[in-house]
Structure 1
Amino acid sequence: MLALPAIPARADIGAWIVVDMDSGAVLDQKQALRQWYPASITKLMTAYVTFKAIREGRATLQSAVTISANAHAEPPSKMGFKPGTRISLESALKMVIVKSANDVAVAVAEAIGGSEPAFIGLMNAEARRLGMSATRFVNPHGLPDNRQVSSARDLAVLARAVWREFPEHRAYFNFAGIRVGKKTLRSANREFLLRVQGANGMKTGYICNSGLNVVVSATRGGRTVMAVILGAASGVERAAKARALIDAGFKDRGGRSVDQLSGVSGKPPADGYCKRNSRPKAEELMAAFARKTRSPSVLSFARGDLNGGGIRRSIVAAPAPSPSGQVGSSTVPKRADGKTDWAKVMDTVIGPRRRAYEAVPVSTAAPRTAVAPRIVAGEPVLVPGTPKPLAKPLAVAADLARVPAVAASVAQQPAKPGAIFRGEPLLIAPIPLQNPRP
């Protein structure tokens, strides 16, 4: 273990909000009304609209979802199924929520809405009905498009609606990974799920212009607390901040209702946010998020090798606290080769794993008798003002519409590595941010 040098201040996470799922009370917030790019948290609305179609009897979990040429053309993160492939809606939802598959998100949109633009209309109609005043959707997946905006507050309203209105579908957000054929696909939210007490999910997201986003929730003692975090600089920081906000949220119950907190305050970050927001070092993470432990000297009991396999009593010295009262923030764990032991860093800033990683098997074939979801007579109908999704590849800035209160800037990412993000940063850092998935 090495003593840490003084650490200069770095930029904080862009925005967040903590909400009691049942009462709707806002327990903490920072710039919760500022517009931000939701990235793949968008897929919470895709799931919400789909869950409504199931509840209304227009679809079932066994309904067939067909991968179209339009869906197949989406950039990664994707499943890569060939056009014409049919999967069940249940499998599609798991791929959208856990893998964050953009191609499957479009296929679901086409199946439920009758077309991708019609589904986007449904997304915006639901956003208006829920009172998401800072939000506008232009695609069902969250890939880069500066017209697509939301806020921490609006995403909290959406997440709360998903949680409260569709309890039968909560399990989708709790999967740490899925297994499709011989491939195992891990959720970018898995370390939060595996390490945080009572963790439920729900969805991560990343594009360069947004940084790393997440909606998380946890249930303890019959109470559920949810946090939305926008603009983290690394996967470890995102999960550590989520854990810290959730822990603090369970200690508070007051606050005005999230429904009373509305409006728009501030524009989204300028293009290239991820390039300006440096990834925190292990020293910074531990200084900021190291969890408190017991007093320096505690009694512990462990099974020993005494005669008859008795219980051996031992005194264990706990790590010394830092001046801030946080334990572990004064040292960085190292591996035998001298490099940072990121697994132990996560143990310190997020918490040790409470459950083993498990991938849920997902079928890639729809039942033979499966039929497509039913499109209600008169659909697809575009909600007035619904923007059309950009053609693939992304359109130039001159073709972009303007979002109220936000000047639309260039949606097209630079044509170089990192333009299309192909895999969200793992929580076992350090991993470059130039190559994440939404």
Structure 2
Amino acid sequence: MALKRGQVGFLFIPLFLSVLIASLVSARAEIGTHILIDARSGEVLSQKDPTRLWYPASLTKIMTAYVTFKAIREGRASLDSVVVQSKNSLSEPPSKMGFKAGTKITVDAALKIILIKSANDVAVALGEAIAGSEPAFIAMMNAEAKRLGMVDTRFVNPHGLPDNRQVTTARDMAILAQAFWRDFPEARDYYRHPGIKFGNKTLRSANREYLLRVQGANGMKTGYICNSGFNVAATATRGRRTLIAVVMGAASGLERIAHTRQLMDDGFRKRSGRFTLATLPRSGGRPPADGYCRRNPKPGAKGIMARYDLEKSKPKSSALSFTNQNRKEGSVLIPGLFTNKQAPESAESTASGDFKLPNGKTDWGLILDRSIGPRRLAFRTIPVSTGVPNGARAPSVATSEAIEIIEVPLPVPNPRRQLAAAVARAAAKAAGDGGEVQLPVATTPAPGSLFRPGTAFAVPVPSPRPGN
């Protein structure tokens, strides 16, 4: 039967729409894997591929802290025990504190630094102090993982920097987070802080907006490497109930927080789950291929609001409930990027979904308020310093000599500083000789390198405490 021209067009409309919807869904950034559990019962309230292998990144430091708190409880160390920045620990890439070799800090300071600032060099130094060497500490980490039932986890370093041999699953990380919450309640006073103060430097936690905005947030630990995307293990308590969320493979820090907030909100409305961590079936799955972060595009402002807008469930009369709140301090997620200290946008802009400021820029402050919630708490730091109390000793299983004999070359100097210094020397020589300046050739990191050695944060070491 012949079809008229209009009929043909009509038949193609559904096909066109289906292709368009499929393309939009495939283009949307997706969370790699997640799990939400009740902290007390271990009941699984929400999950997506929870037994697929994934890279833990700095969630690794939860185990580093767990092993350390266990050593303290067993009397092998104390919060005042000495941690020494060794050459081996100093060789780690950023994020790092960059203390010079031989600098001494307490176990207490080291725990604050790794759980809030997530410094990789201090994580290694802490491991050396607790176990006597980095390999011995890694063995302790894996022994604890086995004891806790983390059947798909393997640690090869104490910080989570890129190494494809270091794998875990959302389920295993939930087991660890649950044990950390349950076994060491004293640790909660470390990871609940949004930042530390070191000398005149303020070092912000990557988890700070979750802590300051989400109802009942207790925090725990974030992580990121390219092969894992943005990870987090987080807790929240409302009433007498605590939930634990593990999110791995988010495309941005904002998506990581917004997804965790949404899991928590939905989870607190549920009373039970079909499985527990112990009975959850294992379906497995290979970890993401290298370069995961480059294949998982950031959702952007419209993508975040389409999925996580808190106003969706509110009546239209309250559509401006977020626009005029919380503007005294501004809303900050990443310094220099998600910052809003300008006037709130107009009602028309909010209603249209543009989320723009009068100057045309994206109002990230409003997006934070609408996807995570307005700030409930003010940003406050806790102090951290170098130096140890008089008479403080290293943990009983390690000595300062054991740390000092580790001979590992110091990190490669900062290539930018090398280049600047070379240019200055060439200019000085040319000025003296009257010749031309021969500029050196700048080197670039190897393809696929995540870090450029020496380019991360480093802070000057303040003078030790009086008497040290």
TM tier, smaller: 0.7 to 0.9
Counterpart of 1:345?
367
How far the C-alpha of 1:89 sits from its partner, in A, is 0.5
Q: 1:177 to 1:114 in 2, by over 3 A?
A: same
Deviation at 1:261?
A: 2.1
Match of 2:290 in 1: 271
Deviations along 1:304-346, one digit per CA (max 9) or x if unpaired, are: xxxxxxxxxxxxxxx89xxxxxxx7951321232110111101
TM-score after normalising by structure 1 = 0.79
> Hey, what does 1:355 align to over in structure 2?
377
Return the offset for 1:420: 1.3
- Is the CA contact (8 Å cut-off) linking 2:206 and 2:222 kept in structure 1? yes
User: 2:84 is matched with which residue: 61, 66, 73?
Assistant: 66
- Counterpart residue identity of residue 105, structure 1: A
Measured after TM superposition, the shift of residue 52 of structure 1 is 0.2
Structure 1 residue ranges, 4+ long, deviating more than 3 angstroms after superposition: 390-394, 421-424
Measure, in 2, the Cα distance between the counterparts of 1:392 and 1:14: 36
Deviation at residue 369 of structure 1 after TM alignment: 1.5
Query: Aligned to 2:24, what secondary structure does the other structure show?
Result: coil
**Aligned positions of 1:26-175 closer than 5 A:** 26-175=44-193
- Structure with bigger helix share is 2
> Quick one: percent identity of the two aligned structures?
58
- Counterpart among 216, 238, 259 of residue 278 in structure 2: 259
What is the correspondence of 1:138-287 to structure 2 with a 5 Å cutoff?
A: 138-255=156-273, 256-261=275-280, 263=282, 265-287=284-306
Cα distance, 1:68–1:392 mapped onto 2, change above 3 Å: closer
- Give the alignment partner of residue 296 of structure 1, picking from 316, 333, 343: 316
Shift of 1:236: 0.6
Provide the C-alpha distance between the structure 1 equivalents of 2:448 and 2:154, rounded to a whole number of angstroms: 28
Matched-pair contact (CA < 8 Å) for 2:53–2:152: yes
| Alpha-carbon displacement from aligned partner over 1:64-96 (angstroms, at most 9, x marks no partner) | 100100001111000000110000110000000
Check the 8 A contact 2:150/2:172 in 1, yes or no. Answer: yes
1:18 pairs with 2:36: yes
Report the CA distance shift for 1:335/1:81 in structure 2 as closer, same or farther (over 3 A). same
CA contact (8 A) 1:134 1:264 kept: no
Let me know the Cα RMSD of the aligned residues.
Answer: 2.8
- In structure 2, the CA distance between the partners of 1:159 and 1:234, relative to structure 1 (3 Å rule), is same
1:296 and 1:245 mapped to 2: Cα distance? 24
How far apart are residue 61 of structure 1 and its match?
Answer: 0.6
CA distances 1:202-246 after superposition (whole Å, capped 9, x unpaired): 100000000010011100001001110000000110000000001
CA contact (8 A) 1:332 1:345 kept: no
Matched, 1:415 2:446: yes
Q: How many Å separate the matches in 2 of 1:56 and 1:113?
A: 13
Q: What is the CA–CA distance in structure 2 between the aligned matches of 1:187 and 1:195, rounded to whole Å? A: 14
CA deviation vs aligned residue, 1:101-133 (integer Å, no higher than 9, x gap): 000000000000111000000000000001101
Give matches, 1:388-407, under 5 Å.
none
Structure index of larger Rg: 2
In the alignment, which of 368, 380, 394 is matched to residue 372 of structure 1? 394
Summarize the Cα distance change of 1:43–1:330 in structure 2 as closer, same or farther, 3 Å threshold: farther
Tell me what 2:427 maps to.
Answer: none
Q: 1:392 to 1:261 in 2, by over 3 A?
A: farther
Gaps of 5+ in 1: 1-5, 301-318, 321-327, 381-389, 395-412, 425-438
**Do the aligned partners of residues 423 and 257 (structure 1) sit closer, same or farther apart at CA in structure 2, a change above 3 Å counting?**
farther
Aligned pairs, number: 367
TM-score between the two structures when normalised by the length of structure 2: 0.74
> Runs of 5+ in structure 2 lacking a partner?
1-20, 321-346, 403-407, 413-443, 458-468
- Structure-2 change in CA distance of 1:60 and 1:330 (3 Å): farther
Task: Determine if contact 2:131/2:398 at 8 Å carries over to the other structure.
Answer: no
Question: For residues 147 and 103 of structure 1, what CA distance do their matches in structure 2 show?
Answer: 20
In structure 2, relative to structure 1, the CA distance for the partners of 1:330 and 1:26 (3 Å cut) is farther
3-state SS of paired residue (2:276): coil
Cα distance, 1:262 vs. partner?
5.8
Whether the 8 Å CA contact 1:98–1:177 is kept in 2: the answer is yes
Q: Is the Cα–Cα contact under 8 Å of residues 132 and 398 in structure 2 kept in the other structure?
A: no
Give SS of 2:391's match. coil
Cα distance in 2, alignment partners of residues 100 and 391 from structure 1: 23
After superposition, what is the alpha-carbon deviation per residue over 1:346-369, rounded to whole angstroms, capped at 9, x for unaligned?
A: 100010000011111112211121
Q: Aligned AA for 1:125?
A: A
Contact 1:291 1:349 in 2 (8 A): yes
- The aligned amino acid for 2:353 is T
2:249 alignment partner, SS class: strand
Kept in 2, the 8 Å contact 1:58–1:376? The answer is no
CA distance in 2, matches of 1:96, 1:159: 16
* Partner SS for 1:35: coil
CA contact (8 A) 1:173 1:201 kept: yes
